[in-house]
Each structure stands twice: as structure tokens, then as C-alpha cells.
Structure 1
Amino acid sequence: MSKDRLSASRRLDVALALVSQGDYTAAIDVARAALAADSDWDEAHFTLGDIYERAGETENAVEAFRQYLMLDPKDRMGAEVRLTLLGAAALRDRLPPDYVRALFDDYAPRFEISLRDRLAYRGPELLFEAIRTHLPEMLRPMDVLDLGCGTGLVGEVFAGHVDAIDGIDLSPRMINRARAKGLYRTLVAGDITDMPADIGTDYSVVIAADVLNYLGDLVPALRAAHDRMKPGGLLVFTLEHGDNFPFDLGPGQRFRHHQRAISEWLVECGFNVLSDTLGVLRQEKGNPVEGRVIVARASDALALMAGDLIIPGDPDQASGQTLH
């Protein structure tokens, strides 16, 4: 660490302490002093942008986030997401992979405590409940692919009911946590839209628990999943519901998807919807976050007749059931 970076780091620590006290004006002054000591420190520009945004100084926040992106084009801290939410950048079809990887690598040690104890997360349980009645009908062996497996919460719920589970996740540190549980046959660090060769090609069930929320356009992930499934295999996943077609980015920095977009993408990628239910995925700031829990069957062709599809929310075909 250079002398300038050391000085900048100390000043930025003071700025963050002032933020915790709600003194944004003083925090901005100290953060700018940190950048005066080291103007090439990308994280300091991002932090200044965050403080400006908290203080309601949108134009200054936008400028600081743009300065950050000039220094870190891979966007490990998610400045483009912040710019999108501020209305200063176009909505993209996914969150930057380097940002998602860095986010969950950092999150891994406290991930389960945060989700289970603080957010009352129960996505894997809702997915199991949605698919439970289909499991006895499926041929054995029943191999499962867990997309965005994280620390292995899906494995904990499904392991006793299937023959083998493989997992893939962008975050190597999350993979390491899942591996320690001994529930997975294979674990791979990789992208669910472009799965590596280590992932098999004959899965009976593919599960995506609270992972597709980090993608806007779901077609690449749905096609990749279909390519790895047996004909007639089941895809079960959760999504946060959105009112804007085809998707928008919510304040929690996750995508929300429109029902019609989901159904059209599933047909395009060779799936037929079996059920579409509502359930509370987690709590956020004390409020329930309701999402869709969808079960779809893979066909052996990428073209289905429209009449084969159960349109999510269609009262004559979809169950309309709510999971609790």
C-alpha cells in the first residue's frame, strides 16, 4: 500500500464512520479528502458516490459512480446498477457477472445467517413443496442440477429425496461453503448461462432458487438448462414478480419479471408450465417479498404449440394456489 493510498484509506474510514452517524455533509468532505490523497483509488470514488446518493445529491453521485467505472470497467462494486437505479444508465439484460461474483464472495461467510435468521428466507422449501407431488412419478436415478447453488441450502432440502445433486455458482467462496456440507456430487464455479463441461447433460430436475433474479433476459439461462435436461425433466424456480414488461430492476438490485415475459420465454426455450404459484420468499426491511414459484416440464423440441402452455395466472389452467 502506497503512502497516498494509506492516507486515503484512513480518511475513507473516517468518512464511513461519519456516514454511520448520519453526518453526510462531513462524510462527503472527508471522502473527497481521501481522493485528494489518491485520485486513482476506484473504491473511494464508489464510496463517495454512495455517500452523495444517501445525501440526495444525485448529480454528484452519478459523476462519482462514472469515475469509478473509468477505473474499474469490470465493475466489481456494481456502479452500473446504481446508475441504472438513478436513471443515469440504460437497463441491461443482466447484472455484471464480476459484480455478482464479488458480491457473493464477500457475502459467503454470513450468507446463511443473513438469509435464514434475518430475512426468513425459505425459497428451497417452497420449491420442494411445488415439485414434491411430481417426484414419485419420475424415473430413477433422479439427478438434480442446482443453479446458483450458493452455500447449499437447496441441497439441504432436496438431498434425501433424490439420487445425486450437482451445483454451479459464480462465487468460488460460496462453492467452498457448499462443498463442506458433503451433499453435492459435483460443484463447479461457473456461469449458468454458459455452463462448463463439468456439468452433466442428463438431469431429471433443474432448480434455480432466487438466482434468476440476477438476470433480466432469462432466455440464455433457460436454454442452457434445457440443454442439460432429460426430455420430460422438470425445471423449478423462483422469481420476483414485476409489473413492467419484460422486466425491471428493483430497489433491492434484483430483477423483477412480468408474467407474460416468463411464459413466452419458457415456450421459446422448450418448456411447458405445469404450475405457477405465489409464495413469500423472504422478509425485506420487515416486509414480505412475494415471488412466483414455477414448475415447468422440458420437451424434446424447442417449439411448443401455444395451446400446450399453461399461462401463469390463467384462472382456467394455472392453479392460482398460494404457498405459505
Structure 2
Amino acid sequence: MDWRVLLQQAMQAHQKDDLDGAERGYREVLELRVAQPDALHYLGVLCHQRGRSDEGAELIRTSLRITPKHPDAHNNLGNVLKESGHLAEAEGCYRRALDCGPDHYNAMNNLAVVLEAQERPEEAFQAYSKLLEMAPEFARGYYLMGTFLRNFAQSMEHLEQSVECFRRAIALDKDDLRALQALGVGLYALNQPSEAAQVYREWLAREPDNPVPQHMLAACGGAEAPSRAGDDYVRDTFDGFADSFDEQLLQNLGYRAPEVLVSALGEFLGDPRGALDVLDAGCGTGLCAGPMRPWTRRLAGVDLSGRMVEKARLRGGYEELEVAEITHWLEQHPQAYDVVLSADTLVYFGELQPVLQASHDALRPGGWVGFTLEASLSDDQGFELTPSGRYRHARGYVETTLEHAGFGDVVVRSDRLRKESGRPVEGWVVLGRRKDD
């Protein structure tokens, strides 16, 4: 068969997410046409998608030695490097893509993102502005500019500008649900709760069964607050967030919860000897796996979002990964673990008693639970649902609930977990030890 036909078939399989078929096709092309640059390029992208990023980067570099002026290949190499944490190298790739294709707005978009991630906000703002000049109908560009203005807000004016960007993104793409949610949160931050509630009501009129506007309407005070976020809300939110989760949290919001939590646990677990059975409850994309690995004999991860679990599987470090609701999972595994840790998962639980009781019962005597929460500095109430869709908890409530669930040696420390709207988010790092039966 002609290699050109094989290449076209492989690309079609790739577009349909048939990664096995696409990889076979690209490799067949390379057997027939050694060093065919498009096959090398697209096979490199595919390898990255399958968690083999070093191999993918080298394949794209090889393609660029053959076609050095290919802007898409430079851009995709930048994406591989960016998502592997090599931000400065990624920046260089995006700049080369723009040298080869000055109108390549995706490369400008990605350049803005890596400049923001490197905490170079003035340059990032210039890049986002240039992006919108290059592609004035690009809805995602307005969403990203709005998010940037919110993340680095120095004044109410910046929050107002971010809201206008979200409005523009929605006008260009009425199905941009992340922009809709961001618009509601932004309006509430501008002390416009009725306008925020109206955004969610209009969204619900379009999609009455969508759990995201249902939850966010309650979060801004437009409906009764539930005792915890519904499973459908959590699943839909994080399935939609999976592809950009690490980038947004780690690089743009200074997310620290996994490292802070594991560091605190390490003070009480002793020397890391690889001897403990550990559950990462709400594992997300697997950010706790690396820091926790030295203590673990067996590390299991559980999350409601299948897309997040896929990302954790690509990251590696777990002997077991399952898609499940964590309270139910804990209840089904009595005395199975030496440690249960949960980084920024219980922020979607208001009432903590059921999940902490289940954690207690899933631990062996003397086992440790560790988790992070967003901090409510008032003891007037145990917990509150905030306009972000997450809950804040009061220290006294956390301590009392842990004690009632059967934990002793309770530690509650304050720490900064992330940034939001240009300001640090204060949280609790919480530890407790199951009492001997």
C-alpha cells in the first residue's frame, strides 16, 4: 500500500482516539518511508498522549531536523515539554513556531500560558493581548485572558475586566461551560450575587439536569446549600478539567497541597521504608504519588473522575487505580490501609463525619489520616459553601469531628494551599491517628 494512504489512515485513527491503530499506522509508514517527517511528528504526539513523553519529544525533534520550518511541529514539541514541566524549553519552541508561522495563534496562546506559569505576568499579558489581536474570534483566548486577569488581579478593575472576557468567550461559544462557571464566580467576587445567580439560572433553563449550575447556584446563595457536593457535579467538573488540571493548579495557581500534606505526614510516619499500604482518596491526576512513594509498599488511588484517573495512570506510581466515590470505597475496605490521605478532596464535603468515620474504619489500629481543607476563620458554624463551589471548615468543627470518628493525636495546622484571584487561599493541613481498639 502507498505510504501516503497509510499515513492518512493513521491520522484519521488518531483523530478518532484509536491510539493503537494510529500507532501501528505511523510505524508502518516509517517502515516504508524511513524518517518520514509527518509520521515522526504525529507519532511523537501520540507517544506523549500515552505517557511516553521523552520518546515523543525525541520523535518530534527528529522530524524537525528534516523539516525545521514546520510551525505545528515546534508548537507540539512545546506542548510535550510544557506538560512535562520543562517550561523554559517549551517557551523556546513556541517562539520558534511563531518565527516560522507569525500567524500561528495556537503557539501564541501556548506562549502566553508558559509565561504566566513562569510568573512573568507582564510578558504573559502582552502575549494574551497579542493573541486576541491575532484571533479576535477565538473564544478560548478570551477565557484564558479572563482567567489570567483573575489570577493576577491587583484591583477590582482587573476582576471587572476578567468578567468582560468571560462574557466575550460565552458570546463566541455558548457551549463554553467553564467560561459560564467562571463568569458566575467573577460576578460574585464583584459583590453581584444576584447577577451571579442569574447566570446559573439561565444555564439551568438551558440544561435543567446539569449538576454544575445546580451546585453553583447554591454556592452563590441562590438555592439551599447541600451538605456535600453531589457526585455528578464532582465527576462532570473534573472530567472537564482533567486535561488542564496540572497546568492550571501547579503552574498558574501555585498549588501546594500535595507536597504540604505529605511533608506533614512524614513527620509522624518515621523513616520512609516502603512498608505502608496507602490510599490516595481523591487521587486526581496523581500528584501525591511521587512525594508519598518512599513510604509505600502499596499505593492505591481512587477518584470519581475517570478522566483524572486516566491521567494518574499515565503519571504512574500506583499499584491500583479505581474510579469510585471515596466514602463508599473506604466502607468496602475495612482495616485495609496504614494511611489514608486526601489532598484538596474534602473541600467538596461540607459534613465531614461520614467520610472521616469511613476513613477510621478503613485504617488499621494506629493508622493515620491526613487531608487538607480550606479554612474558615470563624467558629460560628462548622462549614460553609463558598462561591467557588468548595467548602470552608472551622478548626473547632474539624477537631471535634475527628475525635467523634475515633481519632486521637489530632493536628490542625494553617498553611497556604494555592492562589485565587491574586490572593493566597488559606487552608488547614489536618492529621489524626486511629486510636487502638
TM-score, scaled relative to structure 1: 0.73
Superposed displacement of residue 95, structure 1: 1.4
Match of 2:308 in 1: 174
For residues 255-312 of structure 1, the C-alpha deviation after alignment (integer angstroms, 9 at most, x for no partner) is: 00011111121112111143221111112222111211111001255xxxxxxxxxxx
Number of the residue aligned with 2:9:
none
Aligned to 1:264, which of 386, 400, 414?
A: 400
Other-structure match for 1:110: 244
Deviation at 1:85, TM superposition (A): 3.6
Give the equivalent residue in structure 2 for 1:156.
Answer: 290
Q: How does 1:58-77 map to 2 (within 5 A)?
A: 62=197, 65-66=200-201, 68-69=203-204, 72=207, 74-76=209-211
- Please point out which of 205, 224, 245 is paired with 2:358: 224
- Aligned counterpart in structure 1 of residue 221 of structure 2, from 87, 98, 101: 87
Q: List aligned pairs for 1:43-54, cutoff 5 A.
A: 50=184
Determine the structure 1 residue equivalent to 2:83: none
TM-score norm. by structure 2 comes to 0.55
Q: Deviations over 1:122-147 (max 9, x none)?
A: 11111122121222279973110001
1:108 shift after superposition: 0.7
The residue correspondences of 1:1-324 to structure 2 (distance < 5 A) are 50=184, 62=197, 65-66=200-201, 68-69=203-204, 72=207, 74-76=209-211, 78-136=212-270, 141-195=275-329, 201-242=335-376, 243=378, 244-300=380-436
Q: Which moved more, 1:161-170 or 1:273-282?
A: 273-282
Tell me the alpha carbon deviations over residues 71-118 of structure 1, each in whole angstroms, 9 at most, x when there is no partner. Answer: 655433x22333224322112111122111111111111111111111
Amino acid aligned to 1:100: V
Query: Secondary structure of 1:193's match?
Result: helix
Select between 190-199 and 233-242 the one with higher mean Cα deviation.
190-199
The structure in which a higher percent of residues are strand is 1
Contact 1:166 1:199 (8 Å CA) reproduced: no
The alignment's C-alpha RMSD in Å is: 3.9
Structure with bigger gyration radius: 2
Separation (CA, whole Å) in 1 of partners of 2:229 and 2:347? 9
**Percent of aligned pairs with the same amino acid:** 33
Note if contact 2:228-2:349 (Cα within 8 Å) is conserved in structure 1.
yes
Letter of the 1:111 counterpart: F
Report the residue type matching 2:359 in the other structure: A
Structure 2: unaligned runs, 5 residues or longer: 1-136, 147-160
Give the AA of the match of 2:410: L
Cα distance, 1:227–1:88 mapped onto 2, change above 3 Å:
same
Q: Distance in 1 between matches of 2:364 and 2:341?
A: 14
Number of aligned pairs? 283
Match of 1:233, as an amino acid?
G
Report Cα offsets for 1:27-58 as digits up to 9, x if no partner: 99xx89x99xxxxx9x7xx78x9599589886
Shift, 1:67, TM fit: 5.7
Whole-angstrom distance in 1 between the partners of 2:346 and 2:221: 23
